[in-house]
Amino acid sequence: MRSVKITSVAVAPLFGASPKGGWSSEIKPEDSVHALVAVHTDAGVTGHGSVFTDGRLVQAAMEVLRPLLVGENALEPERVSEKLHQNSFWMGRGGTLTHAISGIDIALWDVLGKVTNQPVGRLLGGTYRRRVQPYCSLLMDEPALMAQTLHAMRAKGFRAFKIGWGPFGRAADAKLDEAIVRAAREAVGPDAKLLVDAGASDAYWPHGLKWALRTAEMLKDYGVGWFEEALRPDAIDDYCELRRASPVPIAAGEVLTRRQAFLPWLVRGALDIVQPDVTKVGGISEQRRIAWLADEFGVRYVGHGWNTAIGLAADLQLAAAMPLTDLVEFIGGSPYLDGILTEPFILDSDGYLPIPASPGLGVELDREKLAQYTPNPAILFAD
Ligand SMILES: [Mg+2]
């Protein structure tokens, strides 16, 4: 098969059931922060992708990108995505268009896998693992509530957890911060992984390097696996200092897009763990390049994935294809993760997720379930 042509591309924003974002400006039911993308082909094969941004932006971006896309060879994800990047640089590279290209790129890898009958992980060069540990991502809360939420998620089988922002740091009360982390560690038990995210890319983060250093010292006492977004997202100098001084590994990168933006962070040694988001940076093609670039610098890659089931499916395939990626992010209690596939993700007895070995991303969207979250799910399917 020399060529499978792209015939159309469709966008379905997800509404009404976004989990609480915990941001200064909270997500409302009428807001969409995720959109699903479908790339249809003349072979009758459809690929699916996911974009983390407002669905209206994805729809507008698609109007701009469609003429560059329709008629292209659907079996060449990296070349086609690069064509979109190269021809849209003047319209705000790194922003909405890059986010939207992520969804197209993921969908094209899905098409390539389905047409060649191979899982995406193998097409990326080979698979290092068949399962990966998901860490359950949860908003922080007052200590008693935090413990309750974590107990419930541990009972569901998770053995790795990330708790983020809410009152942490915002109340300017170091005792409260520590009480939350202590309650979390007690709730998950000494054997579980516990990660902490300050969420400093939210509006008007009030703290700087000294707060981050003091807090990192506190987190060490609770066996925290990494300290994420402890500083504002552009504070690269402070990140460099923090990484050198912190007893806890330092993670960030979820708001960066494009491989080029990650380069100074790696060259300057600002991070222990880099967290590009496959649904923002430019898709699987771009994420793979960032992940391997990080590997050359001895920096660990664990994708950011505040995400949909399709985004998680892409993260799983990337985790399969990277030698040292042992975690994927899994938002606790999001119907966009748990409620839109024909066969939902199921944790094994160790709290790991099997990486789908069927063609493409290896997951299937459920049209009826999707109808609860998007007005016109039919546009995501071929017939
Ligand atoms: Mg984060």
Instruction: Report the C-alpha gap between 164 and 169 in whole angstroms.
Output: 10
What's the pLDDT at 23? 86
Q: Dig out the tokens for 190 from the structure.
A: 């000494």
State in Å: Cα 165 to ligand 1 middle.
9
**Reported pTM:** 0.97
Write the burial class of residue 61 (CB in 10 Å: 0-12 exposed, 13-18 middle, 19+ buried).
buried
| Nearest residue to 357 (alpha-carbon basis) of 44, 158, 103, 123 | 123
DSSP state for residue 170 in the 8-state scheme: T
Rounded mean pLDDT, 17-29: 86
> Could you tell me where the DSSP H helices lie in 279-332?
284-296, 309-321
State in Å: Cα 264 to ligand 1 middle.
20
- List pLDDT tens digits, range 191-246: 999 999 999 999 999 999 999 999 999 999 999 999 999 999 999 999 999 999 99
What's the pLDDT at 240? 98
State in Å: Cα 337 to ligand 1 middle.
17
Q: Dig out the tokens for 310 from the structure.
A: 């399709």
Q: What is the chain's mean pLDDT, rounded?
A: 96
Residue 30 has pLDDT above 90, yes or no: no
| Nearest residue to 201 (alpha-carbon basis) of 180, 229, 224 | 229
> What totals of helices (H) and strands (E) does the chain contain, helices first?
13, 12
**20 — pLDDT class (breaks 50, 70, 90):** confident
Share of the chain above pLDDT 70, in %: 100
CB-CB neighbours of 294 under 10 Å: 24
CB-CB neighbours of 354 under 10 Å: 14
Rounded mean pLDDT, 85-105: 96
State in Å: Cα 229 to ligand 1 middle.
6
What's the pLDDT at 143? 96
Q: Which residue has the tokens 């995501």?
A: 380
**306 — pLDDT class (breaks 50, 70, 90):** confident
Instruction: Report the C-alpha gap between 25 and 30 in whole angstroms.
Output: 14
Q: Dig out the tokens for 350 from the structure.
A: 């160790």
Residue 1 has pLDDT above 70, yes or no: no
What's the pLDDT at 326? 94
- List pLDDT tens digits, range 136-183: 999 999 999 999 999 999 999 999 999 999 999 998 899 999 999 999
State in Å: Cα 239 to ligand 1 middle.
15
Residue 2 has pLDDT above 80, yes or no: no
3-state secondary structure of 329: strand
- List pLDDT tens digits, range 171-193: 889 999 999 999 999 999 999 99
What's the pLDDT at 236? 98
What's the pLDDT at 247? 98
State in Å: Cα 354 to ligand 1 middle.
24
Instruction: Report the C-alpha gap between 238 and 65 in whole angstroms.
Output: 37
Rounded mean pLDDT, 16-38: 89
Compute the chain's Rg from CA coordinates: 20
Rounded mean pLDDT, 99-120: 98
State in Å: Cα 274 to ligand 1 middle.
11
Q: Dig out the tokens for 50 from the structure.
A: 């996911």
- Give CA separation, 11 vs 36, 258, 263, 297, 374, in Å: 6, 22, 31, 37, 10
Instruction: Report the C-alpha gap between 344 and 204 in whole angstroms.
Output: 37
